[in-house]
Amino acid sequence: MKKDIHPEYREVIFKDVSCDFEFKTRSTIKADSTITWTDGKEYPFVKLDISSASHPFYTGKQKVMDTEGRIEKFQKKFGDRFAKMKK
């Protein structure tokens, strides 16, 4: 492999600020700050807006959309104009 062309692959701490969840994994992401982890070592630190700990898909708190209401709203708004375009 060529030298000095690959990004540094190292352990990084990520923190989901919406639910105060932290995890350590390996990444090539550039980090501006560092944090001391539970093992006493210092690691690069990156803040996240959302992770599996706070995402609705993974937490099971998804909203179910009322598709029938959306269709009725569309027909009410565009009604005859959409039917004419279809023909």
Rounded distance between C-alpha atoms, residue 42 and residue 12, angstroms: 9
- pTM for the model: 0.63
Residue 67: band (very low, low, confident or very high) from pLDDT cuts 50, 70, 90 = low
Token pair of 48, please?
């996240």
pLDDT digits over 15-47, tens only? 999 888 999 999 999 999 999 999 999 999 999
Contacts of 16 (CB under 8 A, 6+ apart): 22, 48, 49, 50, 51, 53, 54
